[in-house]
Structure 1
Amino acid sequence: MHNRPATRTLITHILEQDRLKIVPFIALGVMLSVSSILGYKYVLPDTADRENLAQTIMANPAFNVIFGQAHDLTTIDGFNAWRTLALGSMFTALMAIFLVIRNTRGAEETGQAELIAALPIARTARLKAALISAVIASLAVGVIVFTISVLVGGDVHATALISAGYATSGIMFAGIAALAAQTASLTPTATTLSLTLLGGAYALRGYADGSADHTWLIWVTPLGWIQETQPAHLNRVWPLGLCLLLAAATYATALLIERRRDYAGAALTQRPGPEHAHNSQYLPVFLTRLNAPTFLGWTISLALLGYLFGNIGITIGETLSKNPTMARVIASGAVTENELTAAFISMILSMLGMLAGLAGISVLTRLYREETSHRLENVLSGAVTRTRYLAYTVLIALTSSALAILAAGGVIAFVSRGGQADVSSSDVIAQTAASIPAIWVLVALGILGVTAHSNAHWLGWLGVVVAFSVTMFGPMFQAPQWVMNISPFEHVPLMAAPSPDYTPLIGLGIVGVVLIAVSFIRFSHRDLA
């Protein structure tokens, strides 16, 4: 057996096949870093503005939860490290997860792996090739981000550590994805398991950064190790060694399982469906079972995030009242601690609402996979019509996103009630319900993407990225109101206000209905992939 040449051939094939899926993540990492460096120079040209921004951000636990602890926001590289390290590491980890699972469990599911396994190569060659490809792709992210960032003005040492954090995160979570691929028998289950672990690591890191009493938890999560390199501050390299040790352990364990397990075997197998089903119940039950793992993963993750943010929201009103600058960023016009707390919870629910939107968009991504793998064509060749199939899929997507945000809001309400927060649990529930129309607009955009054309399935994800960017960075950089209005969450009223205006919610509902109607018309007339 010529294992090394075979592995090299597989690596070349994977990188060539997935290059168009890797490039967007490289571009995203570059845009994060470059926009931070150039934006900081032009938006905050003098010292007074920089110190004001530093005061605002360092006093706001919400920013710490999302981006990590800010150590030095009066320099370009300190701002770049704070704004990009946590997000860039997470995006690189996503790239590695998708790449590994697609070329391991995904290849087994489609039958491609069986053709490769019939050749005279080692049992572990496919997994080795997928892991090495993920390492190469992660290093490519780091090298390209470093090169371009330095060219636009980033410090060499700080930028090198930030880029190394990106690459190390991808290398580390490639191993976690490899273990998930050995554990789960289906690609969606393996992906959901990996993303749940990534989301849990990110949430735990966020809780440690946002809570002054539990900073030690930063050492429990792998993403916290990357954060503790503290580029442009302490510039520590050794925490990355912990990440590489974890990567080595997961790689070795996954390869050991790969040697011993049966082809297409897994610890978590799919249960067989009922032997007989009534025709009227077949389709909804089938689609519900198909999307249940994804829905449960998102709901549990959002409930966990709701618990973390709920604990922060208990005392946030007092913190905001002591920092007028930061209060203006989060809640213009709010004066009392109750109003400031309500505004903070509204902002947090907007962030969680975007994740809930992704829960619905993930259901639609399944529709895209079913179409491109030609399984949808088999289903529609029977008595099931396109309209009926799409109607049930849309219903599940909308329901999943609504239930996910309600789970998060319910946990926040429960925590705030137990902790005697400055806002009532009924106001939290009302604010959660008010965010659902904005979430459904994002889901409707995803519906339009997958129904307009099989190559436009990314439209919903793009909508979430734009909404997040506008909501998070618009107030910080004093964006004009027309830019802020791009995000649907900008139109969600503050339900704790004496007389909230419900008119924008009606407008969001109309936008969502129009997008879904256009989607049905388009899907019923176009050819399948």
Structure 2
Amino acid sequence: MTATRTAEAPDVDTTAGGLGRELTRTAFLVRLGLRREWILGSITLAIFVLINISTASALSGMYETPEQRTELQLGPGSNPAFRFLLGELTHVEPTAALVSWRAGLFLIAALGVCAAVMTVRQTRKEEELGRTELVRAGAVGSLAPVAAAACVALIFTVAVALSMSLILVPMGATASNAVAVFAQYAATGAAAVGVALVAAQVATTAHIANLTASSVLLLGYLLRGAADATDGWDWLRWLSPVGWAEEIDPFGADNLLPAMLSLTVFVLGLCVAGWMAMTRDLGAGLIAPRPGPAASSRLSTIEALGARLSLPLLVSWVGGIVLYSIVIGFMQPSVEELAQGNEQFDQIMRAALGDATLSTLFGMTMLGFLAVAAGAWGVNLAERLRAEEAANRAEVVLTTPTSRTRYYVTYVGIAAVGAITMMAVAAVGMVIGSGLAGGGWATPAANAAQTAAAQIPAVLVVVTLAIALYAIRPALAHLGWMVVIGSLLLGPLSGMFDLPQWVSDLSPFTHTPLVPVDPIQWTPIVVMLCVAAAFVTIGWARFRRRQIG
């Protein structure tokens, strides 16, 4: 027994003291974390690269001459809505500068959110599932899990930053420009890791930690947008890492000093998180979910219990979609300016749209992306069901008179209602944003309602497939994210890859009717609803027979 124990967990070096002892086995945990994250991290990296490449391809064909680039700078580049979302367009040469403007700040903020979520997944999520306690019971220092999570997230951040900067070199970026772009991504990602490390120590659940860290980053993105869209508010840029990234000013000043502020946030966050990890009880935190009453007549059914448990998750998804859809709607009336000074682009769009406007196509496209996000909600709910089962709480519920069929159908209904709600609020948010920006109310409302309604069957296919994967086997719930990413790449983004039609047809979003540009087609809608019903049936047939827990 002693020999086996020594082989599984080598003894700590008793000669090491202080910080070295607290960091024991950090390298081992880093390797473990990289092994667990490499699939999802690689997919995320590929998405960032593909978005940047597609943006470069579109811009190089649309704005080839200096006159067209000047029109872009004086048109959309000076529009408050575009400045809010993308930042100021101060440099139009070389093409890399345009690509950095069009995708830069938005993708930088997105990288920060991804890095924060990865950090929480490596820290608080592991602690919430009880695995950190098992790790700490071995020859592992108290700071090793925190340090390892920071290392894994930083490696991911650096990989994305390096890829995003090297892509710009063939487009005319100099070495100093590429370094500045790298600093934008890497420094912002590092700051996000620091914020997430502290959030993971303060919160008692991974959901609260993710929400806290992501809210801090998105608030910084909004403050930066307000500074760019409003004269005299430049000081708001200095309140967040996203604003500091903009102050680096690639293709202009190439000033790396603002990146030091983000690195300072990372160092402070790492120190605070390390101190809290050494002083608090394992599993404890400052922000905890409010405990419910000891007894309640309102939770006497599985439907009421499922709704109560799923509501906080749904509210966070709905809040994010509402905020983003309002911003997109605010930009919609200004999209027509994209065709100014570019007759070729205008002719192509007219040939594709006929009598429809460019703003109509923009609304359809963005609602398509939001529909994919609504499908991701179903995957998130499936992951929550898997966690409930792993913690043996689902088994406790099923020991009551609640049948497996009722349990399964309840959560299928919650997933479907949540997805439909998200599409509804996405349409409402875009209408509100468009109305506030002077784009009118009646016509945008009619177009948004039709487009959102047409997207619902495809969303239900993704949602029901995610729940069915969980029902077949809890471990398969993770594959739901692959379904969402595949639906996005083969659906709304399929034009980037010149794929055969049969490959694009694998995404349900490829079959969504293009209303209001084209007349409604009921055949694909009925077929997709039947496919969703088939997924529900398959999941039910498996769930009612397999072992729980």
**SS of structure 2 residue aligned to 1:440:** helix
- How has the CA–CA distance of structure 1 residues 327 and 288 changed in structure 2, closer, same or farther, with 3 Å as cutoff? farther
- One of 366, 370, 378 as aligned partner of 2:384: 366
1:306 deviates by 1.8
1:116 deviates by 6.7
Aligned amino acid, residue 196 of structure 2? A
Matched, 1:417 2:432: no
Partner of 1:31: 46
Distance in 2 (alpha carbons) for counterparts of 1:186 and 1:448 = 26
Aligned amino acid, residue 366 of structure 2? I
Distance in 1 (alpha carbons) for counterparts of 2:501 and 2:349 = 15
**SS of structure 2 residue aligned to 1:307:** helix
Partner of 2:366: 348
Matched, 1:466 2:476: no
TM-score normalized with structure 1 length: 0.79
Contact 2:461/2:532 (8 A) holds in 1: yes
Partner of 1:401: 419
1:393 deviates by 1.8
- One of 304, 312, 316 as aligned partner of 2:335: 316
Partner of 1:14: 29
Contact 1:105/1:186 (8 A) holds in 2: yes
Distance in 2 (alpha carbons) for counterparts of 1:151 and 1:17 = 36
Contact 2:33/2:149 (8 A) holds in 1: no
Distance in 2 (alpha carbons) for counterparts of 1:440 and 1:214 = 46
1:241 deviates by 1.9
Partner of 2:462: 442
Q: Could you report, residue by residue, the CA deviation over 1:194-228 in whole angstroms, capped at 9, with x for unpaired residues?
A: 3344444456667877x687995665542343355
TM-score normalized with structure 2 length: 0.77
Distance in 1 (alpha carbons) for counterparts of 2:527 and 2:471 = 23
**SS of structure 2 residue aligned to 1:172:** helix
1:85 deviates by 4.9
Partner of 2:535: 515
Partner of 1:283: 302
Contact 1:178/1:251 (8 A) holds in 2: yes
1:276 deviates by 2.9
Q: Could you report, residue by residue, the CA deviation over 1:362-390 in whole angstroms, capped at 9, with x for unpaired residues?
A: 11111222334554344445544433322
- How has the CA–CA distance of structure 1 residues 225 and 359 changed in structure 2, closer, same or farther, with 3 Å as cutoff? farther
Point out the structure with max Rg over C-alpha: 2
- How has the CA–CA distance of structure 1 residues 204 and 324 changed in structure 2, closer, same or farther, with 3 Å as cutoff? farther
Matched, 1:51 2:64: yes
**SS of structure 1 residue aligned to 2:353:** coil
Matched, 1:293 2:308: no
Contact 1:363/1:397 (8 A) holds in 2: yes
Matched, 1:5 2:20: yes
Aligned amino acid, residue 454 of structure 1? P
Aligned amino acid, residue 64 of structure 2? E
Q: Could you report, residue by residue, the CA deviation over 1:267-295 in whole angstroms, capped at 9, with x for unpaired residues?
A: 33222233334598342333223222221
**SS of structure 2 residue aligned to 1:315:** helix
Contact 2:194/2:270 (8 A) holds in 1: yes
**SS of structure 2 residue aligned to 1:314:** helix
- How has the CA–CA distance of structure 1 residues 63 and 398 changed in structure 2, closer, same or farther, with 3 Å as cutoff? farther
Distance in 2 (alpha carbons) for counterparts of 1:14 and 1:37 = 32
Partner of 2:476: 456
Q: Which moved more, 1:322-331 or 1:344-353?
A: 322-331
Aligned amino acid, residue 329 of structure 2? G
Distance in 2 (alpha carbons) for counterparts of 1:136 and 1:48 = 34
* CA RMSD between the two structures: 4.6
1:397 deviates by 1.7
Distance in 2 (alpha carbons) for counterparts of 1:161 and 1:4 = 34
**SS of structure 1 residue aligned to 2:328:** helix
**SS of structure 1 residue aligned to 2:450:** helix
Matched, 1:357 2:370: no
1:304 deviates by 1.0
- One of 114, 125, 142 as aligned partner of 1:106: 125
- Alignment of structure 1 residues 81-480 onto 2, 5 Å: 81=100, 85=104, 89=108, 92-114=111-133, 126-139=145-158, 142=161, 157-201=176-220, 216=234, 220-229=239-248, 231=250, 235-255=254-274, 263-277=282-296, 281-317=300-336, 319-320=338-339, 323=342, 325-326=344-345, 333-334=352-353, 339-421=357-439, 423-470=443-490, 473-475=493-495
Identical amino acids, percent of aligned pairs: 24
- How has the CA–CA distance of structure 1 residues 401 and 218 changed in structure 2, closer, same or farther, with 3 Å as cutoff? farther
Distance in 2 (alpha carbons) for counterparts of 1:518 and 1:29 = 30
Distance in 2 (alpha carbons) for counterparts of 1:163 and 1:52 = 27
1:437 deviates by 2.0
- How has the CA–CA distance of structure 1 residues 206 and 391 changed in structure 2, closer, same or farther, with 3 Å as cutoff? farther
1:355 deviates by 2.0
Distance in 2 (alpha carbons) for counterparts of 1:507 and 1:320 = 37
Contact 1:181/1:187 (8 A) holds in 2: yes
Contact 2:84/2:225 (8 A) holds in 1: yes
- How has the CA–CA distance of structure 1 residues 112 and 413 changed in structure 2, closer, same or farther, with 3 Å as cutoff? same
Distance in 2 (alpha carbons) for counterparts of 1:470 and 1:57 = 30
Contact 1:446/1:460 (8 A) holds in 2: yes
- How has the CA–CA distance of structure 1 residues 366 and 394 changed in structure 2, closer, same or farther, with 3 Å as cutoff? same
Q: Could you report, residue by residue, the CA deviation over 1:245-288 in whole angstroms, capped at 9, with x for unpaired residues?
A: 33234344445555665554433322223333459834233322
Distance in 2 (alpha carbons) for counterparts of 1:204 and 1:27 = 30
**Gap regions ≥5 residues in structure 2:** 1-15
Q: Which moved more, 1:512-521 or 1:141-150?
A: 141-150
1:308 deviates by 1.0
- How has the CA–CA distance of structure 1 residues 96 and 341 changed in structure 2, closer, same or farther, with 3 Å as cutoff? closer
Distance in 2 (alpha carbons) for counterparts of 1:125 and 1:514 = 47
Distance in 2 (alpha carbons) for counterparts of 1:305 and 1:411 = 8
